[in-house]
Structure 1
Amino acid sequence: MKAGRELFLNLGFNGCGVQEIATASGIPKGSFYSYFDSKEAFAMAVLEEYWSDVEERFGGILVDTKLPPAKRIARYFHELSEEKAANNYAHGCLIGNLSLEISNASSQVRSKLSDIFERWEASLVRCLREAQGKSEITRHADLSNLAAAIIESWEGAAMRAKVEQKRWPYRRFEEVLLPALLQG
């Protein structure tokens, strides 16, 4: 999976074929189909592994009660953004990358992406609900829409940072947009 994730991040879904995936994974091309019915099925597995990894490494931030909920959200997105520096911001986010590249071509991948976005939003809604309960954000905020807007805005910053290969789109998200969204 890791080799496939790296290929998708570096070359995109359409930029690599089953042969490149098999070679990077150290398996014969024919063995690929022993594990996956199609390249799309592989992409869905890579996405699930990618999201599980994100949740494992960063999800705890959103439930860390040592910080107020709004600060948890800010820290969570800061840490996600900081991770992108390792590759000079050139990779972007696999979720956003594949959303743009293949969601129109594969209903299965689109469904997997939708599921991941829903899970991501749900984790933010839980933290936003806490923030609302502590009067950190307005009690009138539609938390589902707010969570979606935050994610969509961060994904936009990820896309721009990938193009520019610089941190400033993330910084603008963290310093300008996120505080405005959380003020409700």
Structure 2
Amino acid sequence: MPRQPDPDIRARLLVAGLETMQSMGFNSCAVQDITAAAGIPKGSFYNYFATKDAFAVEVLEEYWSRLEAAHGPLLSDRGASTYERVASFFRALASEHETHGFTFGCLMGSLSLELSSNSPDVREKLTELLGRWAQPLVDCLRESRRNGELPTGTDVKALADVLIDGWEGAAMRGKVLRSALPYQRFETLVLKRLLKKPASRKQ
């Protein structure tokens, strides 16, 4: 009987692939780089993933699922204003990047540049993940609109997409500059202009 796939090896490949793609980029890393980082033979890779592109799809899911689990609750924290929820979420993402000295940037942005034009499967996955990213932002912005913090006619879906677009630009520039400055400008010049920050209550 053929050996059953080992879920531990699959998990190790995904972790190694995430780290390798973030540090080297998709096109610059070979399957051998990934398997070496995972500590398994190169031939074992294809027992778990049909192609490198199919692997990239799974790595993207691993990447965004981690961020959703770690930081998604910030967007649903009813104890904070909707502005602070959104700002806290983006600050948490920036903190992830700062942990690595701003060398990694956003994997979704990186693979969008590398693969979206020639890998339909990766492009489809990126589209799905962008939608998953946007939806909790839309929910926050819709609440802001109900609370009068946004004009009544605000297209909250379009606004959520603009915030994501602006964030991705900040992440790309932050990676180039190895600096937190683009993230700080995103908050002060984008978030604070597009979203109305509630005034502090006087004691």
Q: Into which bin does the TM-score normalised by the smaller protein fall?
A: over 0.9
User: Shift of the alpha carbon at 1:22?
Assistant: 1.0
Instruction: Provide the residue aligned with 1:82 in structure 2.
Output: 95
Identity of aligned pairs, percent?
A: 46
Instruction: Provide the residue aligned with 1:8 in structure 2.
Output: 21
Query: What CA deviation, in whole Å up to 9, does each residue of 1:22-77 have, x standing for no partner?
Result: 11111111110010000011100000010000000000000000101111001111
Q: Which of 108, 131, 148 is the equivalent residue of 2:144?
A: 131
Q: Does 1:32 align with 2:45?
A: yes
Instruction: Provide the residue aligned with 2:5 in structure 1.
Output: none
Q: Number of residue pairs matched? A: 183
Q: Which of 12, 28, 33 is the equivalent residue of 1:20?
A: 33
**Partner letter of residue 154 of structure 1?**
W
Q: What is the TM-score with the length of structure 1 in the denominator?
A: 0.97
User: Shift of the alpha carbon at 1:90?
Assistant: 1.0
Q: Does 1:100 align with 2:116?
A: no
**Partner letter of residue 161 of structure 1?**
G
Secondary structure of the residue aligned to 1:90 is coil
Map 1:144-159 to 2 at 5 A.
Answer: 144-159=157-172
Q: Does 1:118 align with 2:120?
A: no
User: Shift of the alpha carbon at 1:113?
Assistant: 0.3
Name the CA distance, whole Å, in 1 between partners of 2:150 and 2:80.
15
Name the CA distance, whole Å, in 1 between partners of 2:131 and 2:114.
19
Instruction: Provide the residue aligned with 1:171 in structure 2.
Output: 184
Higher RCO (CA-CA < 8 Å; seq separation 6+):
1
Name the CA distance, whole Å, in 1 between partners of 2:195 and 2:152.
11
Normalized per residue, the structure richer in helix is 1
**Partner letter of residue 77 of structure 1?**
F
List, as ranges, runs of 4+ consecutive aligned residues in structure 1 with deviation greater than 2 Å: none
- Give ranges in structure 1 of 5+ residues lacking alignment: none
Name the CA distance, whole Å, in 1 between partners of 2:149 and 2:67.
26
Structure whose CA Rg is larger: 2
User: Shift of the alpha carbon at 1:136?
Assistant: 1.5
User: Shift of the alpha carbon at 1:179?
Assistant: 1.2
